[in-house]
Amino acid sequence: MVEIKKIACLGVGLMGQGIAQVALMAGYDVVLVDIKDEFVDNAYKGIAVGMGKLAEKGKLPVKTPKTETTEAVKYTADELMAKCSKSTDLAAAVKDCDMVIEAVIEKMEVKKTVSKTTMDNGPDHIIFASNTSTMSITEIGKDCGKPGQVCGMHFFNPVPLMACIEIIKGDDTSDETFKTAMDTAKKLPVLRGKRYIAQVMKDRPGFIVNRLNAPANIYLSWAFDQALEKGILPDKPQMLDADIGKVAAMPPCVLSDYVGLDTLLHVMNYNEGALSPDFKPGKVLTDMVEKGLLGRKTGKGFYDWSGGRPQPDFSEKAGIIDINLLFSITLNEGCRILEEGVATGTKSVDDSNMAGMNSPGPFGWGKRNYEKAVGYLNAFVEKTGIEYLKPCDLLISGGFKKMRK
Ligand code: NAI
């Protein structure tokens, strides 16, 4: 097994900085790599400020454990930052690295180029782990010369706070690479909850967590369009949200605004190509993005965010969104994930969702309600013709109940 001592964090924007921070906190040597000096300098400063704040709160890792006679000694921010260097030359930077974790822009040709540069210039054993959200790990590694040493390592935002890391096995990823990536990820600290590593056994769109939650957007986009036809939107999003009420931490219109309608549209467009044409975004989403009504980030989406997070009045319901159907859609997708061999069992899907989205997975509800779920889904498909939401065989048979592990 390769021993990982030094990691190159490649592309140190939003995600790369978080990844570098947790890698430093785990005790790894880290080199920050980006395309311009100002980007690596900014990232270095951002990480140093973050470390300083954690030091003030006493949240940096322990350097010398407590003994019977002495207290535990924690690392200082300066000690951890002393293990951090900077570079704008990937070929030179990887020469003494054992692993690259890339978080460069989401473009296939860029990811392919940097994976090849890594393999051409790094030591023989170097591992290339991609934080892509949407791209095929197999394709990223295919032409780099050592596809067995390429895997996915998918973090959630904000990296230091989100417990889930998905480790993805591409078609060519070797067992050794997969295991080394798992072991490395396990060592990365998380500031809230406990680190959870999701094993993604197949390179399929959305991996586990994003895939599980993707088809709910088909339903919600359909519901937005229904609400428009009935004159509920654009003026009364609170009525649609009232259909879900307090069952969810954030009801659909608030959540869509929070995530950003442009992000939702982008994810649906991606899934339209990767999974099914039924992901095609509806009229409401498309028009709102065109008009720049993106939600929280622009101050206006379904709601006006100028006074902070909206607190909708749930007294009148639209009667369009059925929470049971929403649960059924996610349960069905969980079963598809198992059918395709992406996850090892229902527990892994549920735990990944909790660690990646802070929300329970579908199988607890599903065990008791799967027969009803089949009915809800069939009725909806018959009404709308949205074939992607048809119940899959594993859901219909209830066979998922025997697939806990
Ligand atoms: P970002 O735009 O904040 O950062 C990307 C960085 O990559 C920039 O600093 C850019 O200068 C750098 N870069 C571009 N080309 C490069 C090259 N050839 N060599 C080195 N650096 C290069 O993007 P963000 O949001 O951090 O996303 C990065 C990756 O992480 C993407 O693949 C994205 O899909 C994935 N991701 C993003 C999440 C999010 O919530 N933003 C969540 C999970 C994954």
Whether the pLDDT of residue 175 is over 80: the answer is: yes
> How large is the average pLDDT for residues 70-86?
96
109 lines ligand 1 (CB under 6 A): no
Query: What pLDDT is stored for residue 248 in this prediction?
Result: 85
Say how many Å lie between the CA of residue 10 and the centre of ligand 1.
Answer: 9
Long-range contacts at 285-291 (CB < 8 A, ≥ 24 apart): 285/221, 285/224, 285/261, 288/261, 289/261, 289/262, 289/265
At which residue do the structure tokens 């869509």 appear?
256
Domain 323-402 annotated CATH 3.40.50.1820: no
For residue range 271-292, what is the model confidence (pLDDT) as tens digits? 999 999 999 999 999 999 999 9
Tokens of 113: 């180029």
Query: What pLDDT is stored for residue 312 in this prediction?
Result: 96
**76, 177, 300, 312 from 146: Cα distances, Å:** 38, 11, 47, 53
Average pLDDT, the chain: 97
CATH class, range 211-298: mainly alpha
Which of the following is catalytic: 136, 166, 348, 353?
Answer: 166
Note whether 215 and 329 are within 8 A (CB). yes
Beta carbons within 8 Å of 2's beta carbon, 6+ residues apart? 98, 125, 127, 176, 180
DSSP label at residue 277: G
Assign residue 251 a region: left if phi > 0, alpha if psi is -120 to 50, beta otherwise? beta
Tokens of 371: 């027969």
Q: How confident is the model at residue 122 (pLDDT cuts 50, 70, 90)?
A: very high
Alpha carbons 202 and 376: distance in angstroms, whole number: 29
Query: What pLDDT is stored for residue 2 in this prediction?
Result: 87
> How large is the average pLDDT for residues 384-401?
98
**98, 329, 403 from 154: Cα distances, Å:** 18, 24, 24
Task: Give the HSE-up count for residue 283: Cα atoms under 13 Å, Cβ half-sphere.
Answer: 8
Same CATH topology for 211-298 and 323-402? yes
Strands 84-87 and 127-130: unpaired
Superfamily, domain 6-203: NAD(P)-binding Rossmann-like Domain (3.40.50.720)
Residue with the larger pLDDT of the pair 359 and 301: 301
Which of 40, 45, 102, 105 is the best mutation target for the ligand 1 pocket, counting ligand atoms within 8 Å of the beta carbon and taking the most?
105
Q: pTM of the predicted model, to two decimals?
A: 0.95
Query: What pLDDT is stored for residue 249 in this prediction?
Result: 82
For residue range 7-37, what is the model confidence (pLDDT) as tens digits? 999 999 999 999 999 999 999 999 999 999 9
**12, 41, 97 from 118: Cα distances, Å:** 16, 22, 10
Burial (Cβ within 10 Å: 0-12, 13-18, ≥19) of residue 311: exposed
Whether the pLDDT of residue 405 is over 90: the answer is: no
Indicate if 79 belongs to the active site.
no
Percentage of residues of the chain with pLDDT beyond 70: 100
Indicate if 174 belongs to the active site.
no
> How large is the average pLDDT for residues 57-71?
94
Query: What pLDDT is stored for residue 1 in this prediction?
Result: 80
Query: What pLDDT is stored for residue 208 in this prediction?
Result: 98
User: What residue ranges do the domains of the chain occupy?
Assistant: 6-203, 211-298, 323-402
